[in-house]
A and B are shown apart, each in its own frame.
Chain A
Amino acid sequence: MRDRSEIHTGYALLVPALAVLAVVAIYPILGLFWLSLRQRILPFGIDAFIGLDNFRLLVQTPRFWNSLGVTCYFAVLSVTLEVTLGLSIALLLARRFPGVGWMRAVILLPWAIPTVVTAKMWDWMYQPELGILNYFLRASGLTTEPVNWLGTPSLAIHAAIVADVWKTTPFVVILLLAGLALIPSDVYRAASLDGASPWQTFRHITLPLLRPILMVVVLFRMIDALRAFDLLYVMTSGGPADTTETLSIYAYKMLFQTLQFGYGSAIGVVMFMLVALVSLFQLWVGRRDSRRFVRARS
């Protein structure tokens, strides 16, 4: 009887959220898959079903592989840096000391600025002649020529990664701070009584207890980083020479600049599959690790 009421309540509570998601998200998602199987190029008056031809063409296009590589490179580097940095900051800010409240508020600021504004901000700082970064480099004597941050093929993607890390680290910090809050203080007291060093405390107590929320953080950051669009598009529009063209930008150009709705949707489908694969992999690793952790504990 009790279990019945729990199950009924459970389903009832799930309905509102799932309803919203289903109603709003279902049409675009179905539309995406449907379009990816068609060739729909309005400027040519073409609108026909072509099956998997879009995907076949995609696989044969070097530009697709380039954008796939850029996407993965950007995502992996960005997320690694963000999580490392974010974790360190969260650990520092989890203590109670005068001014920590203000600091937590300040740390949030980069996440509170719209991405397009962030992109313009960093674009301004990266300007070869008028940018503050080159000014400091020149003033300190480190360089004589202005560095072409966003116009040099090897530098552009890294300059964008720096801006992205700046913007998204607060996301990591905030979730990890919440995760750290759940760890009871007795645990730390016990550890210090046992004579554990800070590093040992971190590695054997904090990190395992943070694992669940850390996994959520990495999962969502990875999903976002693989789909990153605004920041890169505003800063470099995919250039120079397509070295910062991610799958998102490639899809955008195909969809909205050349009006190839079928082909662009196919890129969208590939992006979805990439993100799904990466997420599934992360979840699998996480589950395997936590099982090992539980086994080690018992």
Chain B
Amino acid sequence: MKSARLPSVGAVLILAVVLAWTLFPILWQALTSVKPDTDLVQLPPLLPLHPTLDHYEALFQQHPFSRVLLNSFAVAVFTTLAALTLGMLAAFPLARLPIRGKTLVLGLVLGCSMFPAIVTVGPLFIIIRALGLRDTWWALLISHTTFALPLTIWVLTNFLRELPEDLYRAARVDGCSPWQAFVRILLPLCRPGLTAAGILAFLFSWTEFLYAFTFTATEASRTVPVAIALFPGLHEIRWGEIAAASIVVTLPVLALVLLFHRHIVSGLTAGAVKG
């Protein structure tokens, strides 16, 4: 990892541009979300002249949003844990153990992610319905985990492969079983990979729309993206409410990231692997 040095002026400038590029659409949504409907249709006033919280009120009044947030959160956390656990368990043999057919397994795993989601949703729904899981967390948990697994397995396999061979061999020579060597030595070193894969799995589940839309029917299991899709009236695209919804969708993630950012930082930059 690069040493602690103040970045050059050029780097600062580029970073500023990157930040502006990333944040501008979101900031624009935030501004839009507090403009009253009548102001929305006129552009010369960029900033809201009479900021209002009407759109946010409409969001929470007309829809049981707190339940929806809980659904999304629970499914995302479950998916992340399941994907990381299963993925890590699979990545270890694929990276380090002398089993046969590794390429085949990796290829098959990758193959599962090559199908467009829209063609898988119909048959999956039939299964979900047959199992009586329609409108439950389970339906989403199963489908989200399945489609988060390929990336998780690939990333973690890759990470394990990059770790020096000697560490594992040394542990085995010391008398550890493969599992012990894995848990005690390799796992802690994988924090960057685990963090990255975990974040991606969480965000995949949090933002997933198609399966959530198809498998849920009421607030019992509806997630945030589907709830947002239910906002607009027959013809009305309520820009204000959609803007408010986008902010509400982003805030929990932002809060989580800021809460855990020290872990993310150390997870992502755990340069504990000295050459």
Chain A interfacial positions (CB closer than 8 Å to B)? 2-3, 5-7, 9-11, 13-14, 16-18, 20-21, 24-25, 27-29, 31-32, 88-89, 92-97, 100-117, 120-122, 124-125, 129-132, 135, 166, 171, 174-175, 177-189, 212-213, 216, 219-220, 223, 227, 229-230, 247-248, 251-252, 255-256, 261, 264-265, 268, 271-272, 275-276, 279
Is A130 in contact with B90, judged by CB distance below 8 angstroms? no
Is A112 in contact with B32, judged by CB distance below 8 angstroms? no
Say yes or no: A251-B118 contact (C-beta < 8 A), given A2-B172, A109-B26, A184-B274.
Answer: yes
Q: Which of B111, B116, B142, B245 has the most CB of A within 10 A?
A: B116
Alpha-carbon distance between A256 and B2 when the two chains are bound, in angstroms: 51
Alpha-carbon distance between A166 and B99 when the two chains are bound, in angstroms: 41
Is B1 in contact with A13, judged by CB distance below 8 angstroms? no
Chain B interfacial positions (CB closer than 8 Å to A)? 1-7, 11, 14-15, 18-19, 21-23, 25-26, 28-29, 32, 40-44, 46, 86-87, 89-90, 92-94, 97-99, 105, 108-124, 127, 142-143, 145-146, 149-151, 153-155, 158-159, 161-163, 172, 177-179, 192-193, 195-196, 199-200, 203, 206-210, 224-225, 228-229, 237, 239, 242-243, 245-246, 249-250, 253-254, 257-258, 261-262, 264-265, 268-271, 273-275
Taking CB atoms, residues of chain A closer than 8 Å to B228 are 114, 116-117
Q: Which of A104, A122, A171, A268 contacts B115 (CB 8 A)?
A: A268
Is A265 in contact with B111, judged by CB distance below 8 angstroms? no
Taking CB atoms, residues of chain A closer than 8 Å to B122 are 28, 31, 255, 261
**Chain A interface helix/strand/loop/mixed:** helix
Say yes or no: A107-B3 contact (C-beta < 8 A), given A116-B229, A212-B161.
Answer: no
Say yes or no: A13-B261 contact (C-beta < 8 A), given A28-B119, A183-B1, A251-B118.
Answer: no
Is A125 in contact with B249, judged by CB distance below 8 angstroms? no
Closest to A252 in B: B118
Closest to A163 in B: B25
Q: Which of B25, B162, B258 contacts A182 (CB 8 A)?
A: B162
Q: Which of B46, B115, B209, B243 has the most CB of A within 10 A?
A: B115
Is B116 in contact with A223, judged by CB distance below 8 angstroms? no
Alpha-carbon distance between A226 and B200 when the two chains are bound, in angstroms: 19
Q: List 9 A-B contacts (CB under 8 A).
A: A21-B108, A29-B120, A31-B122, A105-B264, A124-B32, A129-B43, A186-B274, A219-B110, A229-B116
Is B43 in contact with A28, judged by CB distance below 8 angstroms? no
Say yes or no: A18-B97 contact (C-beta < 8 A), given A96-B2, A212-B161.
Answer: no
**Smallest beta-carbon distance B238→chain A, Å:** 10
Alpha-carbon distance between A238 and B99 when the two chains are bound, in angstroms: 46
Is B112 in contact with A21, judged by CB distance below 8 angstroms? yes
Taking CB atoms, residues of chain A closer than 8 Å to B23 are 106, 109
Is A181 in contact with B253, judged by CB distance below 8 angstroms? no
Alpha-carbon distance between A182 and B190 when the two chains are bound, in angstroms: 9
**Chain B interface helix/strand/loop/mixed:** helix
Taking CB atoms, residues of chain B closer than 8 Å to A275 are 114
Is B115 in contact with A29, judged by CB distance below 8 angstroms? yes
Q: A105-B254, A112-B257, A132-B43 are in contact. List 16 more A-B contacts (CB 8 A).
A: A2-B172, A7-B98, A14-B94, A29-B112, A31-B122, A32-B123, A103-B15, A106-B23, A111-B203, A113-B249, A115-B209, A130-B42, A135-B44, A166-B21, A175-B155, A212-B161
Is B32 in contact with A272, judged by CB distance below 8 angstroms? no
Alpha-carbon distance between A95 and B1 when the two chains are bound, in angstroms: 7
**Smallest beta-carbon distance B11→chain A, Å:** 6
Taking CB atoms, residues of chain B closer than 8 Å to A113 are 26, 207, 246, 249-250
